[in-house]
Every structure is written in C-alpha cells, then in structure tokens.
Amino acid sequence: MDSLEITSEEEDDDYYEASALLTKKATKKENGTNQDNAICQAYHGPVHLTFAKMSRSDSTFEMTPAEKKPLKYPKSVFFIVTNEFCERFCYYGMRTILALYLVQYLKYSEDNATVVYHAFVSFCYLTPLIGAVIADSWLGRFKTILILSLVYAVGCVGISLSAIPNFIPPEAFTYVGLLLIGFGTGGIKPCVSAFGGDQFVIPDQERQLQQFFSIFYFAVNGGSLISTFFTPILREDVKCFERDDCYSLAFGVPAILMVVSIVIFVAGKPMYKSKKPSGNVMMEVCKCICHGISMRFKNKDTKKDHWLEHAEGKYSRKLIDDIKLALNVLVMFIPLLIFWALFDQQGSRWTFQATRMNGALGSWNIKPDQIQVINPLLIIILIPVFEATLYPCFKKLNIFQKPLTKMTLGGALAALAFVLSALVELAIKPTEAVLPVAGEAQLRIFNTFNCPLAISGDLVGSSDKFDIAPLELWENLHISAQGNKMFKLRATPGAGCAPELAEQTFDVEIQEGKALSYALHDGSKGQNTLQLSQNFADDPEKSRNGNAKMKVLINTNDNAPKKVVFVGKLTYEFEPISGTLAVSKILEMDVDSYKILLNDEEIGSTSVVAGGVYTYVINEDTKEVKRAIITPENSVNMLWLIPQYFIITAGEVLFSVTGLEFAFTQAPLTMKSVIVAGWYLSVAFGNFFVILIAEVKFVSDQMWEFVLFAALMAISMVIFWLMSLRYKYVTIATDDSIEMGSDKKKSVDNDAFEDHKD
C-alpha cells in the first residue's frame, strides 16, 4: 500500500481536511445550520503528516508497532466542549428572544424588527471571515478565541443592561451590544472547533477525533435546545422592574453563561496544544483573483482558456487550478441564498406568526418564541433517521443519489414549508385585529345599563336604528371619514328601564384613523338620567407577546374610587378609577381563569385567551358584569406550526449537510476555507434578502409575503436544478489529481478519494 505525504508550511488548510475526508464527516449544528463541520475542515494549523492511501476495500492504516501504541484522549478538549456548550446557550438564548424584544420593549414594528434581526444574523455570518484571518495570520486560535469572547461577553452584558428601564439608553446600547455579539460569535466561529481538533494527533487519534466531532455536535445542539426552551420562560414568567416581563434577566442569564464559558476556556490553557499562525489561504486567493482580473484587462489581446490564467507567473499553476475548481463550486452557491432567507425567518416572521396563535396545551402555555425549540430537537432526531432509513431508500429506488439533487429536494421542502406557513396565516386572518386606517374611523358605543337602549341617528348609515342589549356594545369599524366629523345620536330607553330614564340626543365625534368609544351611563346617583360619556380611545391591536388585553367600564353609584381586581394564578389590580362612568387603563394579563372583584366583593369570573382584547362592562347597582370582545381571541393552536417546522428542518438536513459534503468533495484540500467563506456569504446575503423584502414591502399582507418567498424558493431551485444538470462532478484523489465528469455515484463519506489498485 502506497503512502501519501501531505505537507503544508504556508497555507492553513490541511489538518482536518485530511482526517475529515478519511472519515465520515461529523455533522455539527451551528446557528440553525450544520456549519461547524465546515469550520473543522477549513481552518487549522500547519502540518506535516504521513498517511496510508485508503481504498474502499481497505479501511486500515499501515503503521509501525510504535505507531499503533494508543495515545491518551486529550483532556483539554473537555474544556473546549464545555466552552462551546455555554457559548451556544448564550447565542441561541439571546437570539431566540431578540425579535420579540425589539417589538415589545423597543416598540418596533414587526417589519422594522425583522430588518434589525436579519441584519444582526447577517453580520454574524460575515465576521467569521475576519476571525479566521486574525487567527491564522496574526494572533493564533487561542488568543483570538479569548479576546473575541471577551468582546462577545461585553456585548451580552450591554444588551442585558439595555433592558433595565430608565437605566441606560436602550436603543443605542442594544445596537452596540448586537454589534459586539455579532463580531464576537462570528469571529470565534471558525476557531473553536478547529482549535479542538488541534489537540489530536492525526492519524493516530483519527477515531478519537471523530468522537470529538460527535461530542462537539451534541454540545452545540444541547446549548441550543436548552436555551431556546428556557430563555422564553425567563422572559415571560418572571416579572421585574414593574413590568410583566423580564428581558434583562432573559438576556442576563445567557450573558452569565458566556462569562462562564470564558473562565472554563482559560482554565484549560495549561493543557492546550497551540499552533503558531502561519497565514490564511483566503488572502492568497483574493490576491490571485485580483491579479488575474487586473492582468485580464491589461492583456486584452492575449487569449487564455480562463481569465484566472492571466495570474500565472506571479502565482503557481496549482493555486490557479485549485481556485478555478473552487469557483466552480462557489457559482453553485448563488441560488442558495434564498434558502437561508427562508430558513432564518424562524426567528422573525414565524415567531411573530406564533404570537397571533393560541399556545394552550392543556394546563401549559407555549410561548411564541419557545416554538423555535422544534428545530434543534428535530435536527438531533432527523440526521440519524435519514442516515438509517431515507438515504438507503433513495439508493434502493435510485433517486436523489447525487448531492445536488438532494439539495434541490431540500430547497423544494423549504418552499413547501412556506406554503404551509401561508396557509396557517390564512387560518389566522379571521382572528386578526381590525385596525383603523386612513379614510376610515371606528366607533363603539357601550350600554352600561341593565336594560336595552334603542339608538338612532345620522351615523347609523343604511339602518334607521339599532338596539344595544344590557351591558353590551354596538360597533362600526368602517365608517367613511375625512378628518373629524360630528354626528347626532339619539338614545331611547327600552323595556325594563326606569320610567324616569328619558330619551336624550347627543353629539358624537369620530376621527379619521382612530378607534373611539363612548358609553351611555347613569348621570348621577338616584337621578336616573341618561348621559353619554366623553370619548375614550380603544386599542384593538393584539398583545405582541401572546397575552390578553382588557379594560373595565363601571356604571357607578357615585364618584368614589372603585377598585377592580382579577385574581388567578397571578393577581392584576386596575388603578383605582372614579366618576359616574369609571374607565380603566388597559392591562395585559396572562392566559388564565380569573375571579372578578369589585371593591373586594366577588361579582363574577372569566377566562381569557391569548390574543383576545376585551372590555368588561360592570353595573355597580346590580353587580352584573359582561365581557365585550373587541378583538377575537387567537383560535388557531400553535401546534399547527409543527408541520412547517418539520418540513423546513428536513429540508435543512438535505440541503445544508449535503451541501457542505458536496462542496468539500468538489474542491481541492487547499480551498476548504474558500468554500466556507462562500457558504457563510450565502447565509449573509440570504438574510440581506429578507431585509430587502421587508423594507421595499412588495406585499403588505403577511400571507402573500410567505407565498412570495415560497415562489422565489421554487424559482431558485429550478435554476439550481438546471445548473446541476450542467455541472460536471470531479473526483479529487489523494494526490490532488482530478477526474472530470465522472457519472459514478461517489460515497458521501469518502467522495474525495479515488479507488487505486497496487
């Protein structure tokens, strides 16, 4: 059996590529995608290794007796794995609640929050390129991880402090915190897993390296899974700073975990094997491409087979050929950015969609941002299931055998997931709030008497009159209005009203673009006079965090302050209200069943549902209470989101895992960092695309926006499929020789190696 010697003194690109191409790639979940596998194979130190050439029929190495002596498992990797768990807990915990923080705390619109969220995610995928260059060309991996982790921790602390009311400027510190977090998490991304791999001796510890990848994978997913479930509980169930939530704690716990991760990482320093920085191939690639472009325009009359060949002379032929192969792969990444545009909306648009749904699951209530836990949970389940069942079925049926066809299927599933999200949005529509718009006004009139009232007047429209039942309301949500407009309203007491309660006529004002309410009530104690209250504003918009909203109207006996309390698992007390018609402020309440107390006397009970906006009308004389529903409750259960999460996660496994394997088997060993850079850029540009759609507002209806993304995904996959038909697969053998246009299906585990017979 021949031996293969791999030597790298100038590039930082041979440590994990050699080992990863000899073994099954360990799949690691990174930022909602399987990125760490790419990182492990792309960034590492200089190495001088000797391998035995491996064929499909021989999976063993030829070693001397001394070489066969087992090496101890490096204890240092446990510090690295624990550090990764804490860092991933921090990142995913912060990211899970970020979109709702922007909407609920900073009062951004959903569109603006979507822009900020995806700008942050995009930044997180641009900075790894900077981190890799810093580590490989200047500081080395240990110092890069340590310094950028400190930057990361400062950002986490900053965003936690920004959520303390009246402490520091929240918006400014939020942006500073996100910038520091993005630079920190992105900068260490290409370093941590590679630094863990630096602790092993290859090929002697090949099996142990593979085990490390698996442990690292579970650390990433464990941190993601736990924080995605736990952080929303801190956000919503804990109350602090006189608010019904506690974002400061929800951001603070991940910040503490980030500090802990730094302490753990530093504690392992005496055990680490560190490699000196030796330069990054990305810099050479960029210089070579720039020189090739420059010489192409300077030597227009000189014909070359490829424009990059104009760089020959200053750069080696091997480097030029390697870059050409890498560019062939990178071109295939262009249509893929739409996938990431869809995939990363789990943390923005899909989370906002969940706030308009009902999270009731028996006695437990699912939080809107907590639904994101489905993705990491399914990833852990689906990867081994696909390996054991789906892929063997594909092989048996001779379908989806090549990597590009699997990726096309994954992209098609993402499009299908967004079709499902559009259907869910369609089901949600009937329960959405009807908000006042330009050219229209809304009017509600409440009857606080325990007898019916007949109403007539100019504002009625096509009807001459209407009746309002006791303790109920009449509403018109679409009154044509330009500016302010006055109407005459006549109220006539009905059957059961006090005889002395006489008919009255009132002036009613409506205002364009506003929702105003009036209440008919008893004017003064014992007088039984019919009066119309001053107008008060309604807020029909649903709670942005999935709670219920309510206010109270009381037809009182006197002007004394009235105390209204709702008692459930939590107690909510309205500020004391007074006047012959007492109107409370709006409160948000948790979904629960409550007893209603008026001046400490129980007068009724009620249950509130997520998304409902209510007005409770109380008559103090009769101690009667009725609930008027201003905006319908969320009736579509959040569990209906599971199908779209399942499908897009299945698409992720087919698309992301297969995509990285395709890229690494189609590019030379020296180009792995270039491939990772292209992969990260596709994720970054995908998030920029979401920003474009949100800012330009091609469609105003969320359902049609989901349809738009599904259509764009389908179109991009058709383009990708057509490109794949023209793509010629190459086989990169152990000596970096290339075979073009091979139609034979290569093993996913070992595509980069050609069969050789002695």
- In single-letter form, the type of residue at position 267 comes to A
Same domain, 273 and 331: yes
Residue 691 lies in a domain: yes
What lies within 8 Å, CB to CB, of 341 at 6+ separation is 686, 687, 689, 690, 693, 709, 712
The predicted-structure confidence for 306-345, as pLDDT tens digits, reads as follows 888 888 888 888 888 888 888 988 999 999 999 999 999 9
Identify the burial level of 183 via C-beta atoms within 10 angstroms of its C-beta, where 0-12 means exposed, 13-18 middle and 19 or more buried. Answer: buried
Residue 298 lies in a domain: no
Residue 748 lies in a domain: no
Res 201 pLDDT > 50: yes
Residue 189 lies in a domain: yes
Taking a C-beta distance cutoff of 8 angstroms, is the pair 445, 454 a contact? no
Same domain, 675 and 598: no
Residue 404 lies in a domain: yes
Strand partners, 156: none
Task: For residue 624, give its domain range.
Answer: 440-631
* pLDDT at site 278: 72
* pLDDT at site 685: 96
CA angle 177, 179, 185 (to 5 degrees): 95
Report the SS3 class of residue 572. strand
* pLDDT at site 501: 86
Residue 306 lies in a domain: no
Q: Report which of residues 608 and 198 the model is more confident about.
A: 608
Residue 81 lies in a domain: yes
Q: Report which of residues 663 and 407 the model is more confident about.
A: 407
Q: Give me the sheet containing 564-567, strands edge to edge.
A: 571-573, 564-567, 592-598, 601-608
Same domain, 178 and 207: yes
Same domain, 336 and 412: yes
Q: What is the mean pLDDT of residues 36-63?
A: 37
Using a pLDDT cut of 90, give the percent of the chain over it.
Answer: 55
Weakest-pLDDT range from 394-398, 544-548, 677-681: 544-548
Q: Which uninterrupted H or E stretch holds 293?
A: helix 281-298
Q: Provide the token pair at 117.
A: 């969220």
Same domain, 373 and 462: no
Task: Supply the DSSP symbol for 315.
Answer: B
* pLDDT at site 464: 61
Same domain, 384 and 483: no
Residue ending a domain, among 631, 650, 679, is 631
Residue 756 lies in a domain: no
* pLDDT at site 320: 87
* pLDDT at site 68: 58
Q: Provide the token pair at 584.
A: 């409370």
* pLDDT at site 742: 39
Q: What is the mean pLDDT of residues 245-273?
A: 95
Q: 324-329 long-range CB contacts below 8 Å, 24 or more apart?
A: 325/666, 325/667, 325/668, 325/671, 325/730, 325/732, 325/738, 326/285, 326/667, 326/668, 326/671, 326/674, 326/675, 326/678, 328/666, 328/727, 329/662, 329/663, 329/666, 329/667, 329/675, 329/678
The predicted-structure confidence for 123-176, as pLDDT tens digits, reads as follows 999 999 888 888 888 888 899 999 999 999 999 999 999 999 999 999 999 999
* pLDDT at site 473: 94
Same domain, 235 and 128: yes
* Number of structural domains in the chain: 2
The closest of 194, 183, 192, 185 to 12, measured between CA atoms, is 194
Same domain, 602 and 736: no
Residue ending a domain, among 587, 607, 631, is 631
CATH of the domain at 37: 1.20.1250.20
Report the SS3 class of residue 525. coil
Same domain, 467 and 586: yes
Res 43 pLDDT > 90: no
Largest Cα separation within the chain, whole Å, is: 113
Same domain, 399 and 457: no
Res 5 pLDDT > 50: no
The predicted-structure confidence for 89-118, as pLDDT tens digits, reads as follows 999 999 999 999 999 999 999 999 999 999
Same domain, 521 and 660: no
Return d(Cα 121, Cα 686) in angstroms, integer.
Answer: 10
Return d(Cα 623, Cα 556) in angstroms, integer.
Answer: 10
Residue ending a domain, among 631, 658, 687, is 631
Q: Report which of residues 54 and 574 the model is more confident about.
A: 574
- pLDDT tier at 441 (50, 70, 90 boundaries)? very high
Return d(Cα 378, Cα 654) in angstroms, integer.
Answer: 13
Same domain, 462 and 574: yes
